[in-house]
Amino acid sequence: MSLNIQALRDDTPGCENVVHFNNAGAGLMPRPVLEAITDHLNLEAEIGGYEAHAKANAAYQSTYAALETLLGAQKGEIALLENATRAWDQVFYGMKFNSGDRIITAQASYASNYIAMLQRAKNEGIHIDVIESDEDGQIDLAALKTAIGPKTRLICLTHIPTNGGLVNPAKEVGKVARAHGVPFLLDACQSVGQVEVNVDEIGCDFLSGTGRKYLRGPRGTGFLYVRSSSIDLIEPPFLDLHAAVWTQLDTYEMHPDSRRFENWEGYVAGKIGLGRAVNYLLEVGPEATFSRIVALAAQLRHSLNVLPGVTVHDIGATKGGIVTFSHHSVPIQTIKQHLDAQYINVNLAHPEWARLDAERRGLPVMIRASVHYYNTIAEIDQFCEVVRSAS
């Protein structure tokens, strides 16, 4: 399936104002997503929040179906939350650990996740086993197999880290997890919408994701996948009258499916917008969009590599749409200021965002440029020219 890039850009109001290479931060929303959100907000203003939710319930419920389709999940395996971190936390803090239990993660762990691991290690006496990276920079599968022991309770993997281009081999990790009977939690906040993510093919028990990044949905939206056969491995760290029913004075029953991980109050307009964003991707064609993101990022790396003084720091046998680089003599903040002045959006990637990997590789503060399918070669050329002139 070929993409009509101009039509997609015309459908993206932000493309008229900026060159947006910060899609790993927040993608530009397409017009139908913006309209879905504003239409519901207008409805809330006109008739009231509860009443608007009731009237738009079909659209709200369709978000679950859209995510089920995109991820290959079954009905009842999706929960809608306010962000990817809260979704990940629902699993990690909902799993019971005993002193001496072990959890496994990789060098490319994201800061928020690793901080949570450190907290439970400090408070509950669990151990964190960090698997070394292989020669390509991805999790070493042989080392992973060796590390699993009788006390291993969970494997936590960041699918696509916050910087460095890497796409970790989630499917292969899933095979190892299933072979050893160890639950597998996948942080997919950078990968859903960027690369193909199918929960059955990957074999994860749990998956957390966000709406704002490559799905091009609104901020303040996230989602959690919990395999139905694994739901009883964890207990939600908190419950309310949405997640459970108060059956008698001293008893309650949790929601039978993944909605037990939700709570009553939430961003209804945003969740409707999230569903529209997922359906937008399904309509455009995930396979074609994923291929274009990879191709554009490869072109950006090539163009940056030939610039004097620039070092691209990306790793991985498979690379996605995130490109990180530094300069030998020009402060990276200076280059970002030049990009900002030309209305080119990027972000800075700080070592403390992924400290295990950053310290292992001696990474400085870098510019993170993350492309999406609506970006163009002309924008890459413009970007590289600004980087060159800033030098």
Q: How does DSSP assign 150-196, residue by residue?
A: TTEEEEEEESS-SSSSB---HHHHHHHHHHHT--EEEE-TTTBTTB-
Write down the pLDDT at residue 164: 87
- Is the separation of the CB atoms in 355 and 311 below 8 Å? no
357-379: average pLDDT: 97
Pairwise CA distance, residues 215 & 143, whole Å: 33
- The identity of residue 280, as a single letter, is Y
Strand segments (E) across the chain: 19-20, 78-81, 102-106, 127-131, 152-158, 184-187, 206-210, 222-226, 244-248, 251-254, 310-312, 322-327, 344-345, 347-349, 366-370
Hey, how many other C-beta atoms are within 10 angstroms of the C-beta on 364?
A: 14
Rounded average pLDDT over 120-143: 97
Cα torsion through 266, 270, 271, 273, rounded to 10: 170
CA dist 186 and 354 (Å) reads 16
Helix (H) or strand (E) segment spanning residue 274: helix 268-284
Q: Is the pLDDT of residue 1 over 80?
A: no
List, in order of start, the domains of the chain with CATH numbers.
5-23+285-390 (3.90.1150.10), 32-283 (3.40.640.10)
Arithmetic mean of pLDDT, 324-337: 97
Q: Is the pLDDT of residue 163 over 90?
A: no
Residue bearing tokens 């800061």: 111
Mean pLDDT of 360-388: 97
The span from the CA of 253 to the CA of 154, in Å, is 26
**At residue 391, does pLDDT exceed 90?**
no
C-alpha dihedral sign at 95, 98, 99, 102: negative
Q: Give tens-digit pLDDT for 261-285.
A: 999 999 999 999 999 999 999 999 9
Name the percent of the chain lying above pLDDT 90: 99
Q: What is the mean pLDDT of the chain?
A: 97
Query: pLDDT value at position 176?
Result: 98
Residue 343: φ, ψ to 5°: 60, 45
pLDDT in tens, 80-104: 999 999 999 999 999 999 999 999 9
pTM: 0.97
Bridge partners for 127 per DSSP: 102
The model's pLDDT over 196-255, given as tens digits with 9 standing for 90+, comes to: 999 999 999 999 999 999 999 999 999 999 999 999 999 999 999 999 999 999 999 999
Report the pLDDT value the prediction gives residue 2, as an integer from 0 to 100: 86
